[in-house]
Amino acid sequence: MAAASTSGSILKSRAAKSPFKTFRKNAPCCSVVRILEKKGVVGYEAIGKRSHRYHPLIDKERYTRGFMHTVLGNFFDNSPARLVSFFCERENLSLQETEEILAIAREAIAKKKASE
Protein backbone atom coordinates (compact mmCIF):
# COMPACT_ATOMS: atom_id res chain seq x y z
CA MET A 1 0.00 0.00 0.00
CA ALA A 2 1.02 3.60 -0.46
CA ALA A 3 2.45 5.73 2.32
CA ALA A 4 0.33 8.07 4.42
CA SER A 5 -0.08 11.65 3.15
CA THR A 6 -1.34 14.99 4.38
CA SER A 7 -3.65 17.15 2.28
CA GLY A 8 -0.72 19.54 1.75
CA SER A 9 1.45 16.79 0.29
CA ILE A 10 -1.45 15.64 -1.90
CA LEU A 11 -1.82 19.19 -3.24
CA LYS A 12 1.92 19.47 -3.91
CA SER A 13 1.86 16.14 -5.73
CA ARG A 14 -1.15 17.17 -7.81
CA ALA A 15 0.43 20.54 -8.60
CA ALA A 16 3.61 18.83 -9.81
CA LYS A 17 1.62 16.58 -12.17
CA SER A 18 -0.94 19.18 -13.20
CA PRO A 19 -0.80 21.37 -16.30
CA PHE A 20 -2.26 24.14 -14.16
CA LYS A 21 0.17 26.48 -12.41
CA THR A 22 -1.31 26.45 -8.90
CA PHE A 23 -4.18 25.19 -6.85
CA ARG A 24 -5.77 28.21 -5.25
CA LYS A 25 -7.91 26.40 -2.73
CA ASN A 26 -7.82 23.06 -0.95
CA ALA A 27 -11.50 22.53 -1.73
CA PRO A 28 -11.11 20.23 -4.77
CA CYS A 29 -8.54 18.07 -2.99
CA CYS A 30 -10.51 17.94 0.24
CA SER A 31 -13.70 17.03 -1.62
CA VAL A 32 -11.99 14.13 -3.37
CA VAL A 33 -10.41 12.91 -0.14
CA ARG A 34 -13.77 13.13 1.69
CA ILE A 35 -15.47 11.13 -1.05
CA LEU A 36 -12.74 8.48 -0.89
CA GLU A 37 -13.09 8.42 2.89
CA LYS A 38 -16.86 7.88 2.67
CA LYS A 39 -16.28 5.04 0.21
CA GLY A 40 -13.89 3.38 2.64
CA VAL A 41 -10.87 3.82 0.39
CA VAL A 42 -8.84 6.11 2.68
CA GLY A 43 -8.70 6.64 6.40
CA TYR A 44 -7.05 9.35 8.45
CA GLU A 45 -5.60 10.25 11.80
CA ALA A 46 -5.91 13.72 13.24
CA ILE A 47 -2.75 15.78 13.57
CA GLY A 48 -3.49 18.76 15.75
CA LYS A 49 -6.82 20.54 15.44
CA ARG A 50 -7.10 21.12 11.69
CA SER A 51 -4.81 18.66 9.95
CA HIS A 52 -5.18 15.02 9.03
CA ARG A 53 -2.77 12.37 7.82
CA TYR A 54 -4.45 10.16 5.23
CA HIS A 55 -3.63 6.54 4.50
CA PRO A 56 -5.05 3.92 2.13
CA LEU A 57 -7.47 1.36 3.53
CA ILE A 58 -7.45 -0.86 0.43
CA ASP A 59 -4.65 -1.76 -1.96
CA LYS A 60 -4.32 -0.39 -5.48
CA GLU A 61 -5.36 -3.66 -7.15
CA ARG A 62 -8.65 -3.83 -5.24
CA TYR A 63 -9.41 -0.17 -5.98
CA THR A 64 -8.56 -0.65 -9.67
CA ARG A 65 -10.82 -3.72 -9.93
CA GLY A 66 -13.73 -1.79 -8.43
CA PHE A 67 -13.08 1.24 -10.62
CA MET A 68 -12.88 -0.84 -13.80
CA HIS A 69 -16.04 -2.72 -12.84
CA THR A 70 -17.82 0.64 -12.58
CA VAL A 71 -16.41 1.85 -15.93
CA LEU A 72 -17.38 -1.41 -17.60
CA GLY A 73 -20.94 -1.16 -16.27
CA ASN A 74 -21.47 2.56 -16.85
CA PHE A 75 -19.92 2.88 -20.31
CA PHE A 76 -19.78 -0.56 -21.92
CA ASP A 77 -22.94 -2.36 -20.71
CA ASN A 78 -20.81 -4.79 -18.66
CA SER A 79 -19.23 -6.07 -21.89
CA PRO A 80 -15.44 -6.53 -21.88
CA ALA A 81 -15.67 -7.09 -25.65
CA ARG A 82 -17.13 -3.60 -26.09
CA LEU A 83 -14.34 -2.14 -23.96
CA VAL A 84 -11.66 -3.82 -26.08
CA SER A 85 -13.49 -2.86 -29.27
CA PHE A 86 -13.59 0.77 -28.14
CA PHE A 87 -9.82 0.87 -27.73
CA CYS A 88 -9.09 -1.07 -30.89
CA GLU A 89 -11.37 1.03 -33.09
CA ARG A 90 -11.27 4.51 -31.58
CA GLU A 91 -7.88 4.94 -29.97
CA ASN A 92 -5.73 4.24 -33.03
CA LEU A 93 -3.75 1.46 -31.40
CA SER A 94 -0.54 0.47 -33.09
CA LEU A 95 -0.23 -2.95 -34.67
CA GLN A 96 2.01 -4.02 -31.77
CA GLU A 97 -0.55 -2.91 -29.16
CA THR A 98 -3.33 -4.73 -31.01
CA GLU A 99 -1.20 -7.89 -31.21
CA GLU A 100 -0.50 -7.63 -27.45
CA ILE A 101 -4.25 -7.49 -26.74
CA LEU A 102 -4.79 -10.50 -28.99
CA ALA A 103 -1.98 -12.41 -27.24
CA ILE A 104 -3.51 -11.67 -23.83
CA ALA A 105 -6.90 -12.87 -25.06
CA ARG A 106 -5.40 -16.07 -26.50
CA GLU A 107 -3.58 -16.76 -23.24
CA ALA A 108 -6.83 -16.30 -21.28
CA ILE A 109 -8.60 -18.69 -23.67
CA ALA A 110 -5.88 -21.31 -23.23
CA LYS A 111 -6.09 -21.04 -19.42
CA LYS A 112 -9.88 -21.44 -19.49
CA LYS A 113 -9.67 -24.47 -21.77
CA ALA A 114 -7.01 -26.04 -19.54
CA SER A 115 -9.16 -25.60 -16.45
CA GLU A 116 -12.23 -27.29 -17.99
Which residues are CB-neighbours of 87 under 8 A, at least 6 positions away?
A: 93, 101
Q: Compute the C-alpha angle 24/30/33, nearest 5°.
A: 140
pLDDT at residue 19, rounded to an integer: 46
In what helix (H) or strand (E) does residue 48 lie, and over which residues does it extend? none
Residue 42's CB is within 10 A of a number of other CB atoms, namely 22
Mean of all residue pLDDT scores within the chain: 82
pLDDT of residue 68: 93
Query: Does residue 47 come out as left (phi exceeding 0), alpha (psi in the -120 to 50 range) or beta?
Result: beta
Does pTM top 0.75 for this prediction? no
Residue 39's Cα: distance from chain center in Å? Answer: 14
pLDDT in tens, the chain (116 residues): 566 666 566 656 655 554 444 444 556 777 888 888 998 989 999 888 888 888 999 999 998 999 999 999 999 999 999 999 998 888 888 899 999 999 999 999 999 999 98
Instruction: Note the pLDDT tens digit of each residue in 2-18.
Output: 666 665 666 566 555 54
